[in-house]
Chains A and B, each alone.
Chain A
Amino acid sequence: MKSFAPIALVIAVLTAVPLLVHSNVVLNFLVVALMIALAGQGWNILGGYGGQYSFGHAIFFGTGAYVTAILQVQYGINAWLAFGAGIVAGAAVGVVVGWLAFRAGLRGSYFALVTLAFAEVLRILASVAPITGAGVGTLVKLDLRFAALQFESRALFYWLILALVAVALVVTYAVERSRFGAWLTAVRENEDAARALGVDAVAVKLGAMVISGAITAAAGCFYVQYFLFVDSHIAYGAWISVEALLTPIIGGAGTIFGPLVGALVVKALGEGALLVTGQAPGLDLVVFGIVLIAVVGLSPRGIVGLRQQLGARFGSRRGAGEASRG
């Protein structure tokens, strides 16, 4: 993306939404969609730009969630600090998992399987460890004060998650334009060719893992503050790994707006399907699948890529028309 203007515009428009829309149902829907978008933005750095497809981003979401919850509940630490610690923990877990996987030279489906396995191991550990509340889970005490990072109004939660999404958009924009981003994309396109040009592929992938882990962990931290509860299925369950992966792919992997567009579209379709058919369980997953097949079939670069394709076709047709007129 050449300029920052579209990002500023999107953030501005989204910021205005709670001023115009007062329905709690709509705001709640948007908060959850933005939370999924944030998780997907984390995945997008590693998977979309770096080509390292993680099937286990629950690793980061769950770590952020548990660190935020446990520091408050077990250690009485301020919620804002706990939130920050959750993000740092996500980055740290990124270093560990990345170091193990990339040093071992795991690529492609092997990397995907290892991330999946890590998430499963963490889920099982969290379901038995006393500190996580084991099978019962951890409840954060209701305390509707700014200092406790809890808000009476949905709008404030909405602006909090929007601020996080905005930061992730800016980070993605900066990555896309930087040397690090050029190297990361080069590793995605052809790792050997990148190494020949002086790119330390392991270091670059590790860097992407750290940024990716921190962003997706922030979504987990937010989850805890919003729902005030976490257990092992929520934290490290496959649901969030799937959503963090599918929303950027549907929206456009390796594009700045891909995860945001994907999350809004998929969540809207999922809600729509539930409204039409009643609360049939698993229906949102069916919608996921159908949208995924439709979008990937039409455009390998997701909805954002589809728009770019159409734009290019329209643009060139218009160009041809002008040429024939001239």
Chain B
Amino acid sequence: MAEPLLSVEGVSRRFGGLLAVGGVSMAVREGSITALIGPNGAGKTTMFALISGFLKPSDGIVRFGGADVTGEPAHRLARRGIARTFQIVQPFAGLTVRENIRVGAHLRHPERSAAFAAAEAVAREVGLEGLLDAPADSLTVAGRKRLELAKALATEPKLLLLDEVLAGLNPSEIRDIIPVIRSLRDRGITILMIEHVMQAVMSLAERVYVLAEGRLIAEGTPEGVAADAAVIEAYLGHGAAKRLARSP
């Protein structure tokens, strides 16, 4: 099998006495959608920060496209082709949607008009073309999530890290955005997504990693992981798997 696009080997991160991520190893196959799930506070967002260069690992190695990129700063990883969205969306609040996306587009398009053209193409892809001149801080939650996605996409990444882009959306908004994510994968972007909406994980991901209290407790297909006793216990509490098995 070909080498994974992203591999994380025994990565740990401490915050003082707290081990937020402990000895986690993961591999993301090129062209796949991979999901990272786990209860609140499991260390998922911290894992993204370690992969995207916003935090340095206390221990372990991050490889991207075959190169050891451990500890490289965020902007350089973005140049290599890693883009992330933020769980708490981070728009450039004083700028319009067009100008927001343009910032990302400038990474591959130094020239002003080329960057604006690329930004408009990305806006169409995520369904923001009608709001290009709207100030970013006037958008609804769903609009902000799309903008977060658009900014990251504008950097033309190889690997896209999506941190709960569906959180806070209603079921119809979720139904609208799932095909967008799938089409990104279909045009060659590898996706690693943190997601609590299991319906989305089941329908999109080919492989799932499960974190709990900083440790990797399961990995496998969505169906396999959903049936895993350790996973059920992590979500529902100690003894839950047994109780579920006994109930008719």
Contact = CB atoms under 8 A, between A and B. Distances in A.
Contacts of A186: 92, 95, 103
A197 B76 CA distance: 10
B106 interface: yes
Contacts of A193: 86, 90-92, 151
Most buried by B among A183, A185, A197: A197
Contact of B103 (A177, A178, A197, A201): A197
Contact of A192 (B83, B90, B93, B107): B90
Interface in B62-110: 73-76, 78-79, 83-84, 86, 90-95, 99, 102-104, 106-107, 110
A198 B151 contact: no
A169 to B, nearest CB: 19
A194 B95 CA distance: 13
B60 to A, nearest CB: 22
A44 to B, nearest CB: 16
Given A198-B75, A198-B78, A199-B75, A190 B92 contact: yes
B92 A179 contact: no
A45 to B, nearest CB: 17
B115 A179 contact: yes
A199 B112 contact: no
A179 B52 contact: no
A197 B90 CA distance: 11
B155 interface: yes
B192 interface: no
Contacts of B115: 179, 182
B112 A190 contact: no
Interface of A: 177-179, 182-183, 185-186, 189-190, 192-201
Given A179-B111, A196-B52, 18 more contacts: A179-B110, A182-B102, A182-B103, A183-B106, A185-B99, A186-B95, A189-B95, A190-B91, A195-B78, A196-B74, A196-B84, A197-B83, A197-B104, A197-B107, A198-B75, A198-B79, A200-B75, A201-B75
